[in-house]
Structure 1
């Protein structure tokens, strides 16, 4: 029968067990129990760093995970928790909108990354635009040619159409009565232009007619105003390709004199707000109905005029930013989603 001894607290202990050994055993037990409890209900932070080469090659070297213990253990990402405490964004994202071409170029130069940033041009003549993708994929000149870009940091410039151009496009092909057409020519007198030699040769070759000067159009406009209520007496096409309209004499001073009607005239307008003006040929047409004339005009290839202006801007951007400029759209949207087929900014 083993002998016991009573300690100061009245607990019976084996006579051969010292007090300090009892305390050490009790402490070990407590630590082990605490560890077991922590593992049963706590959270353990794991660092995943033994990644395959395929992941390391795309910039993913290591990442932390939380191992949540309990009845239903699970792995949980820590990224959302870490994002709450950021002082700066993880990377640049969003799309700035420039209101002028010069501002677009300045913004691109401010943010561009050599061998990574590119510019895309949409030459759709009804809604042309330029979009710079700052964080695009790296080129063959970069140190890491396999590194893809997010495509989320952009500068966008939707070419703002000028009011003059929108007004010409709005009335393109629309029939007008004689007084209305005459007033239109008077109102837009400052937008009429004389063609240069190259344009005149092209028009005379393609349309087989002469090109009117601004003064000839103004003379036509005033003659139409005089004969505003007159009926057409005679019409003939001249050898030059222009037409003559003879009105019945109904107004004092009109004398039924024939009016020369040119087949083509030229306007000088900027398709874009604060852009450079260009020369655009316009066909002048008319139809006779019940002795009266309905006038209308047709802008020659408005799509070609816009496309030419966009491509001129593309050259300007390429020269001033030293970036590649592509006619098209990026394969991802500004939110990072992949675009199938024809994409958009």
Structure 2
């Protein structure tokens, strides 16, 4: 047997032994149960070194997760509060997002502990958490709120106005005697005073539901023009102008209330808020168009948000921030 044949046999045996050799652990001095450090093994086929740390962590979490994670979504504020109380800890917090488009409450159960970073080369920041265990409540805006905000500031024909008023009659409320009078602010109830102030600011008065229905069905507006002359005694010149006056079908001066009240919830299953609605009309030839405009709906919206946030803060006893939590 020559030297070349001996060399080929040795090469073949070495390769066979390498291919058949078992995986060998590489001792790094770390506890094999400690999944916070790297675990290395030597595998056959060239004895390559592979990092199997992630595989071991995945296997360890196969039957039971290493930590709680995920976001639970809730349909009611009460469920959000109950869930948060079930899992909360000393470092848990709540975030309140006041966006008009997507208002929400988010509880972060595993939030970072209070304090400055405590960096360690081996263990990292002792005050760092993953913030992966969360509860989310997206405030469900009520259908009434959507409908009245959608019609606000839109021009309506008389037939459209009548149909809208009849369809949403349940939302319209009659003003109280104090609101109709509008002068006795000191004797009014606390909730009536801001509404009286609104009427005074807009130089308007509140109308009753029956009057609103009557106008939407039978209102006819006639316009008359009167020639007015005014003589200037200093130079003797005469100024002439036309003054237009709107009258009803009987020729009487038109008296139309320019405000009425609705009571609607901002969010589903929430309390109702009294909102003034400005009522105006415009005559275009023989046709009359109307406009309904919600007065300062933002105040009711943010008040409803604040009420819910205060309720959640009181019942969970957690620190609450206005804003959105960090993305994970």
CA contact (8 A) 2:282 2:289 kept: yes
Matches of 1:198 and 1:90, distance apart in 2: 57
CA contact (8 A) 1:46 1:66 kept: yes
Matches of 1:265 and 1:47, distance apart in 2: 82
Matches of 1:261 and 1:173, distance apart in 2: 18
Under a length normalisation based on structure 1, what TM-score does the superposition of the two structures give? 0.69
Matches of 2:40 and 2:127, distance apart in 1: 25
CA contact (8 A) 1:185 1:218 kept: no
**CA shift digits 1:296-315 (9 cap, x unpaired):** 11112333321221111111
One of 43, 52, 73 as aligned partner of 2:48: 73
Under a length normalisation based on structure 2, what TM-score does the superposition of the two structures give? 0.72
CA contact (8 A) 1:122 1:130 kept: yes
Provide the residue aligned with 1:314 in structure 2: 309
**SS at 1:260's partner residue?**
coil
CA contact (8 A) 2:38 2:53 kept: no
Provide the residue aligned with 2:105 in structure 1: 130
One of 209, 212, 223 as aligned partner of 1:220: 212
- Alpha-carbon deviation of 1:208? 2.9
CA contact (8 A) 1:96 1:154 kept: yes
Residues paired across the two proteins, number: 272
One of 96, 99, 102 as aligned partner of 2:75: 99
**CA shift digits 1:267-321 (9 cap, x unpaired):** 2110111011112222222222113221111112333321221111111111000
CA contact (8 A) 1:183 1:221 kept: no
Larger Rg: 1
- Alpha-carbon deviation of 1:94? 1.3
Task: Call closer, same or farther: CA 1:279–1:38 in 2, change over 3 Å.
Answer: same
Matches of 2:197 and 2:25, distance apart in 1: 76
CA contact (8 A) 2:18 2:46 kept: no
- Alpha-carbon deviation of 1:130? 1.0
Provide the residue aligned with 2:146 in structure 1: 166
Matches of 1:201 and 1:270, distance apart in 2: 21
Structure 2 counterparts to residues 328-343 of structure 1, below 5 A: 328-332=323-327, 336=328
Matches of 1:92 and 1:103, distance apart in 2: 19
Structure 2 counterparts to residues 188-199 of structure 1, below 5 A: 188-193=168-173, 194=175, 196-199=191-194
CA contact (8 A) 1:135 1:150 kept: yes
Give the unaligned 5+ runs of structure 1.
1-32, 52-58, 236-243, 250-254, 337-345
2:260 corresponds to 1:265: yes
Matches of 2:140 and 2:297, distance apart in 1: 16
CA contact (8 A) 1:185 1:217 kept: no
CA contact (8 A) 1:67 1:76 kept: no
**CA shift digits 1:186-231 (9 cap, x unpaired):** 3322212336322224303432323x15xx242132133123xx34
